[in-house]
Structure 1
Amino acid sequence: MEEALPSRGRRVMPLPRAGETYADLRGEGRRLRVAWHTERDVVVLSLWRDNVCTGTFQLTADDVADLVDVLGAGRDASYTAALGARRAARSS
């Protein structure tokens, strides 16, 4: 793991092995970082702009399943709507 670097008075911790980052569609260096902290039983969601953390949210491990359900339901609804639109376009 990389060494943590100070950033505007905050200590930037290296991403744990159980984590990932996602680019924001708007670009401009925006990223979402998801990091499991098993030693504390939490998932930390953090917002980044280039190498600066702009905000964090700590989600208990017990709440992760609910978040996954919400994301999955949204994905399923989006997919169903897109599929319906494609079928409608083909039949017209």
Structure 2
Amino acid sequence: MATVRPLPASGSIFLDSRGGDRALRVTWHYDSDLVVLSLWRENVCTGSFRLTVDEVPDLIRMLRSGLDTAYAVARSRRHQVC
């Protein structure tokens, strides 16, 4: 089994709302021009995905677009209740 490495200083951890010690780690690897998204369960990496730094803006745009839509849907629900 692979050794668990500590999260680099240039990363973040997002906990899964389902619990069960599930997490997403996002780490920048500047020396390789990569961002690595890895899925963790307890202290075991169960999968990873590498993005080049050139692909990150597309991911950010997609996430931002989804967030804008989610806010718009939530606002329309609030207005329907009033």
TM-score past 0.5 threshold: yes
Q: Deviations over 1:40-82 (max 9, x none)?
A: 0000000000111101101110000000000010000000000
1:28 pairs with one of 10, 13, 20? 20
Shift of 1:10: 1.2
Alignment RMSD (CA, Å): 0.7
List structure 1 segments (4+ residues) > 2 angstroms apart after TM superposition.
none
Partner Cα separation in structure 1 for residue 31 and residue 42 of structure 2:
27
Shift of 1:15: 1.1
1:64 pairs with one of 35, 38, 56? 56
Q: 1:44 is paired with a residue of what secondary structure?
A: strand
The structure with more radius of gyration: 1
TM score, norm. by length of structure 1: 0.86
Matched, 1:46 2:34: no
TM score, norm. by length of structure 2: 0.96
Identical aligned pairs, as a percentage? 49
Gaps of 5+ in 2: none
Question: What count of residue pairs does the alignment treat as equivalent?
Answer: 82
Q: 2:19 is paired with a residue of what secondary structure?
A: coil
Gaps of 5+ in 1: 1-8
The higher relative CO (CA closer than 8 Å, separation ≥ 6) is in 2
